[in-house]
Amino acid sequence: MSRSTLKILARGVAAGAVATVALAALPAQAANVFRFAFQGDLKSLDPYSLKESFTEGMQQAAYESLVTLDKNLKFAPGLAESWETPEPTRWRFHLRKNVKFHDGTPFTADDVIFSAQRVRASGSNFTTNVPADADFVKVDDYTVDMVLKKPNPIAIAQFPTWLIMSKAWAEKNGAAQPTPPNATSPSYATLHENGTGPFVVAEHQPGVKTVFKKFDGYWGKVESNLDEAVLTTIANPATRVAALLSGEVDWIDPVPLQDQSRVNASGTAIVMAGPELRTIFLGMDQDRDELKDSSVKGKNPFKDIKVREAFYLAIDEDTIAKRVMRGQAVPSALMIAPSLYDRGAEFKRPATDLKKAKELMAEAGYPDGFALTMDCPNDRYVNDEAICQAVVSMLARINVKVNLNAQPKAKYFAKVLAPAYDTSFYLLGWTPSSLDSHNILYEIVGCRKPGDKSGRGSWNLAGYCDPKIDAIADKVEAETNKSKRDALIKDGFDVLNADWSYIPLHQQALAWGVSKKVHLTQRADNLLLLYWVSKDPQ
Amino acid sequence: MLAFLLRRVMQAAAVLAVVGLIAFSMFRFAGDPVNQIVGPDTPASERAEIRRSLGLDDPVLVQFARYAGDVVRGRLGISYQFRQPVSQLLAERMPATLELAFCATVFALVVGVLMGVYCALRRESWLAGLFQAVSLIGISLPTFLIGILLIYLFSVTLGWLPSYGRGDTVRLGWWTTGFLTWSGLKALILPSITLGLFQMTLIMRLVRAEMLEVLRTDYIRFARARGLSTRAVNLRHALKNTLVPVITIAGLQLGSVIAFSIITETVFQWPGMGLLFVQAVQNVDIPIMSAYLLLVALIFVTINLVVDILYTVVDPRLRLSSARTA
C-alpha cells in the first residue's frame, strides 16, 4: 500500500471518528424516540401515490386533511374548522387560520384548490377521493366552496385520506402533478414532504428507514409526547417478532398468528388485536356459460342457486375462524364489517348444514359433485392459503373436488382481475375505501358490463348481476336521510343474501405487537397514527 | 495476451446478453406489475393504459431490445415501486452488501483456516471432533435457519446483539459504512457469521484435507530430518503450500457470497442489494430485478476474468500454450 493511500485512509478514519463522536453525542439529550417496524416499505412520501393503509397512516403524520377521522372513525375537523351544506349541491369549508406548512409558508384556500386538482390528475391513486364533478371555488382566503352537479350525501366520505399539499412548494419543485407510474425521471415529492402535520420527515431512505421529528410550528396541541419516530422495514416475520421481544423496536405490524401467544407471554410487549374492516369472502363465477377448468361441460353449475347455497352451507366458517385463524377472526354474515353499518348486527350467518348441502347438490343434479379450480393468493391476507385449503377439504365433504391454485398476489391478481376475470372460484378481501356500504353495492356486487367506465362492478369478479341491486345502489347514493338510507342498504344486503351471491367468511383481526412502554390508539382501519402514540420517557 | 483478453471480454459480453434475455423472458411469469403500482379503486381502463405506457404489452424481444438499448446508454430505468432511478437505489444499497460480504469472507478465511490447521495437526483431539461436527452443521443447516437461531440466542435471549439492520452508519462520500460506529460493528457480527458459515466450513475441510496431504510429502519429511522445529515445519512449509487452492476457492466463492447474501439479508433485514431484489420480486419491480441480475452476472464474469488472467500470470505454462496457439 502506498503512503498516499494510507494517508487517505487515515483521513477517512479520522472523519469517521468525528462523525461517530457527533452521533454518540446526540442521544445524550434522552429524546423520546419511538422505533417501529412494518412488514412493507413506505414507498413514497407523495400523498397521492399509493392507496394502502400503512402508507396513508404514515403520510398523515406529516400531511393533514380538511376533514379527519377521530378515534371512533367519526368525522372531525382537520384543516377545516367547520363545514356546512347551505344547499344540497354546495359544501362550504371554513379553513383554520394560523396554520403553517413545514417550510413556514401559511396555509390558505389556494392550497385546497390546488390539492383538489392534483388529487384528481392522471397518475394520482386517489382520484376517487374527491368527487369528479366537484368544482372548488375560493370565497376568500379561508373559505372554500365545493360545488357538485348533483346531491351526494357521502361526498366527503373519503376526504380524511385526501391530504392537502402546498401549492407554492409543489410548483417550485416541479411536483405540481402526481408522479405517474411510467415516469422517466424521479419526482421531488416522492422523497420530500411539506405538509402541515405534527411531524416532519427528517430523513427518508425508501425501503430502509424513515425518521419523523416533532414539528415545532404545529398549530394544534398534540396528544403524542414523542420527539422522534423511526420507521424500519422488517419483512421477515420471525425477525420482526425478535426485534420486538428484544426491545429494539416498540411496535410491529403484523404479528404472525403463531407468535401471538409468545409475544403476550414475554412480559415486555402485548398483541393489540381487534377486528379489521376488511372482509374476506369467496366468489363464484356466475357469468360464464361454462366454468373454466371444471368437470361440468356445457353449463355453469354456479348459475344454479342451489349449488351456491350448498357451497355456503358446506363451508364451516366457525372452524376456519377457530382453527385456521386461531380465533383471530370474526365470522361475518355480510360483505361489510358490522362496525361500518349500523344495522349490521341484524344479519346472522346461516349455520353450517352438511345434510342440507348434500340434498341441495342432489336436487341440482350433482349428487356425485363435480370438480373445479379455486384461485387463491398466498401472500396477501392473513393465512389466505390456509383458509383456501380448509375450504377445499370442507367442500370435499359434499363431493366437490377443488383444485387449489394458490399463487403470490402479483400472479393471482393478474389472473383474476379485469380484463380476463379468469377464475371460477376465488378468495378475496375488501375494505370499502369510503367506509360505506354503497361502495360494496356498487363496486363488489354491482352489475359489470363490458366497456363500462363508471367503475360499477369493477371488483365483481364473479360477474354476479341483479338489476335490483343496481337500482338500490343508485337510491342509496342520493338518499340523505340516514334511517331511510340504512333501510335501503338493508334491502340491498337482503337481496344479496337471498341470492346466495357471495360467501362472506370473516373479518380478520388486526395484530399489532406493542411494547408495554407505549400507549397508543388502534383504529379499525389499521392506520398507525403517530400523533396518538406516546412512550414512557426513559 | 491482448488477443486472449479481448476474446475473454467478448465472451463476458455474450454471457451478460444471454443472462439479460433469460431474465427478461422469465419476468412474464412473475406476475403483473400494474396491480402492485395502483390502488384497488383504479378502474380497468386506467390499468390497461398504465400497462401500455410501460410497454408491458409489447413482445418480450421488443421489451428486451428496448431495455438493452437503455442499458448500453447507461440508463437502468426508474423503479416502479419507489419511482426512483434504479442506479441510485443500487448505489445506496451496494455498500451494505459489500461490507457484509467482506466481513463474511474474512470470517470464513480466518476461522476456517485456523480450524482446518488444528484439525489436521490434532486429528485425534476432542476439539477437532467438535470442529468437524460444527462444520457438518454449517453445511447441512439452511442459512435462514442459522440466522433465526442466532437471532433468538444472541438478540432475544441474551440481548447482546441487534436482530436487524445495520445500526448507525457513517457517510464517506457516496459510501455508507458501518465500520466506524459501535452499533454498526455489532450489527455486522450475526449476519457475517450466518453468511460466512458455509464458506468457513468449506475452507476448513479443504485446509484439513490439503494439509494432511502435504504433511505426507517428502519435503516435509526432509524438513523434519533437517531438525527444523515442528512449528516452522507446520506453519511455514506445510501451511503455505496448502493455501494456494484455498485462495482460489475463496476468490471464486466471493461472487457467490455477494450473490447469495439475499437470504441472509432477508433474515436480518440488512439493507443491501439482495433485500432490494427480494422486495422487487414480490412487487414485480422489473427495472430493479433486471438491473440486479445483470449486476450479479457482471460480478461473476469479472471475477472469472480476473482469475483467468491471474492464472496466466502465475502459471507460465498457460501463457506459453496460449502464445503457441494464438
| pLDDT per residue as tens digits for the range A59-88 | 999 999 999 999 988 899 999 999 999 988
A410:B30 CB<8 A: yes
Chain B nearest C-alpha distance from A16 (Å): 6
- B63, pLDDT greater than 60: yes
pLDDT at B317 over 70: no
Residue B13: what pLDDT?
A: 86
Interface with B, mutate which of A120, A158, A246, A412 (most B CBs under 10 A): A246
Residues of B in contact with A183 (CB under 8 A): 78, 83
Beta bridge partners of A508: A329
Which residue is closest to B40 within chain A, CA to CA? A51
Which pLDDT does position A2 carry in this prediction? 44
Contact A44 B82 (CB under 8 A): yes
Contacts of B276 in chain A (CB under 8 A): 207
Choice between A454 and A384, residue whose per-residue pLDDT is larger: A384
Higher pLDDT, A281 or B308: A281
| Rounded Cα–Cα distance for residues A259 and A265 (Å) | 10
Q: Which of A532, B180, B143 is nearest to B188 (CA)?
A: B180
Which residues on adjacent β-strands are paired with residue B78?
Answer: B85
Report the amino acid identity of residue A220. G
| Residues of chain B found within 8 Å of residue A205, distances taken between Cβ atoms | 92, 271
Phi, psi for residue B299 in degrees, rounded to 5: -60, -45
Indicate whether A10 pLDDT > 50: no
Contact B78 A183 (CB under 8 A): yes
Q: Which amino acid is at B76?
A: L
Q: pLDDT at position A12, please?
A: 45
Asked if A3 and A504 touch (Cβ cutoff 8 Å), the reply is no
pTM of the model: 0.82
Mean pLDDT of B19-36: 79
Q: A187-193 long-range contacts, Cβ below 8 Å, gap at least 24? A: A187/A46, A187/B83, A189/A45, A189/A46, A189/A165, A190/A44, A190/A45, A190/A46, A190/A49, A190/B82, A190/B83, A190/B84, A191/A45, A191/B84, A192/A45, A193/A45, A193/A59, A193/A62, A193/A63, A193/A102
User: Is 50 exceeded by the pLDDT of residue A314?
Assistant: yes
Task: Spell out which residues of chain A touch residue B86, defining contact as CB-CB under 8 Å.
Answer: none
Of B4, B272, B287, the residue nearest B164 (C-alpha): B272
Q: What is the pLDDT of residues A140-196, one digit of tens each?
A: 999 999 999 988 888 898 999 999 999 999 999 988 888 776 666 778 898 899 999
Predicted confidence at residue A403, as pLDDT, reads 94
Angle in degrees, 0-180, between the axes of helices B143-150 and B182-215, rounded to the nearest 10: 130
Give the pLDDT of residue A19.
43
Q: What is the pLDDT of residue B96?
A: 93
**Is B53 in contact with A182 (Cβ distance < 8 A)?**
yes
Q: Across chain A, what does the average pLDDT equal?
A: 88
- Above 70 in pLDDT, residue A20? no
Mutation test of the interface with chain A: which of B83, B149, B286, choosing the one with the most A Cβ atoms within 10 A?
Answer: B83
Torsion of CA A268, A71, A525, A341, to 10 degrees: 130
What was the pLDDT predicted at A497? 93
pLDDT at B307: 76
Q: How far is CA A25 from CA A19, A29, A248, B147, B184, in A?
A: 10, 8, 20, 32, 16
Give the pLDDT band (50/70/90) at residue B322.
low
Q: What is the pLDDT of residues A112-131, one digit of tens each?
A: 999 999 999 887 888 888 98
Give one word for A81, left, alpha or beta, with left for phi > 0 and alpha for psi -120 to 50: alpha
User: How close A17 comes to chain B (CA, Å)?
Assistant: 7
Distance spanning both ends of chain B, measured CA to CA: 9
User: Residue A15: pLDDT above 70?
Assistant: no
Q: Which of A182, A205, A242 sits opposite B54 (nearest CB)?
A: A182
The per-residue pLDDT for B227 is: 81
Which residue, among A39, A89, A344, A33, has the nearest Cα to A203 in the 3D structure?
A: A33
